[in-house]
Structure 1
Amino acid sequence: MTVKAILELKGHDVVTLGPNEKLSEAIKVLAEKRIGAIVITNGDRKIVGILSERDIVRAIAQAGSMALEHSVRDAMTAKVKICNAHHTVNEVMEIMTTGRFRHLPVEQNGMLDGIISIGDVVKRRIEDVEREASDIRAYIATA
């Protein structure tokens, strides 16, 4: 299964914020949307960073409650790993495992096209394994 297939099922919607928003606003959006990361764009869907719960924890650990008044730019991860529609689930799992992160923006032609979470990847991988097991059982039953 590819990233393209996952996005066809889940959609291409991504929660984004600008880099000049306050960290307190980003936290409110994360809580309201019940998500773990926000892709940071300049309004043109060009990815300039990603802000995860871990980034927020680090910012608060360094600056205390004053961090809430800082801009997202101060806390975000600017060097964002991305994937594209042609990556496989196994390739995305490798990228996430190696980088130790749970969200991977999907880019197409230099612009944000979606986001894949570790939950999306695990769900699809489990479906693949279940389908393979079912195929094997069916093959054995007919042999």
Structure 2
Amino acid sequence: MSASVKSILEEKGRNVVTVGPSVTLAEAAKVLYENKIGAVVVVGMEGRIVGIFTERDVVTAIGRNGPEGMGQPVSTVMTANVYRCSEEATINDLMEVMSSRRFRHVPVEKAGKLCGIISIGDVVKSRIREIELEAEHIKAYIAG
């Protein structure tokens, strides 16, 4: 039985670093750096998700426009069509989607509003815990 997104959020917390769509790329990059994270969720009115901005987006913007592009709004390079999940999603489902679509962060929504974020690191940690627990059960069964 795969753990749910809700169980991970209850353990790690529901804090999500966000920025508005008009923040510059330079400001968003500084937020990533200061928080030691790989992505920020871009939110609009009423905390609704309008995009996600990642380290890759910084590299893409510099590669495309040079350093002078860092003054443009984050909305010009963010991913606007954001894959999101609910708290009920299983880690196995999320792992499959993240690897097939090649992204490392998934915002979590509840009633249309942002309530957390799951990274590939969270997914890996959860799977490792599941496997370790399974191994302990097997050892106990064999020793039993």
TM-score range, shorter chain: over 0.9
Q: CA deviation at 1:67?
A: 1.4
Q: How does 1:16-27 map to 2 (within 5 A)?
A: 16-27=18-29
Whole-Å separation in 2 of the counterparts to 1:97 and 1:108 = 23
Count of residues in correspondence between the two structures: 142
Whole-Å separation in 2 of the counterparts to 1:56 and 1:96 = 20
Whole-Å separation in 2 of the counterparts to 1:47 and 1:98 = 22
Tell me which residue corresponds to 2:13: 11
**Runs of 4+ residues over 6 Å off in structure 1:** none
Tell me which residue corresponds to 1:68: 70
Whole-Å separation in 1 of the counterparts to 2:84 and 2:60 = 22
The share of aligned pairs that are identical, in percent, is 52
Whole-Å separation in 2 of the counterparts to 1:36 and 1:10 = 16
Whole-Å separation in 2 of the counterparts to 1:12 and 1:48 = 18
Q: 2:115 aligns with which of 113, 116, 136?
A: 113
Whole-Å separation in 1 of the counterparts to 2:122 and 2:26 = 27
Q: Secondary structure at the match of 2:116?
A: strand
TM-score by length of 2: 0.97
1:51-89 per-residue CA deviation (whole Å, 9 max, x = no partner) reads 000111111111001111010001100010011100011
Tell me which residue corresponds to 2:55: 53
Tell me which residue corresponds to 1:82: 84
**Contact 1:18–1:43 (CA<8 Å) still a contact in 2?**
no
Whole-Å separation in 2 of the counterparts to 1:77 and 1:84 = 19
Q: How does 1:116-127 map to 2 (within 5 A)?
A: 116-127=118-129
Whole-Å separation in 1 of the counterparts to 2:33 and 2:13 = 21
- Please report the RMSD computed on the Cα atoms of aligned residues, expressed in angstroms: 0.7
Does residue 91 of structure 1 match 2:120? Answer: no
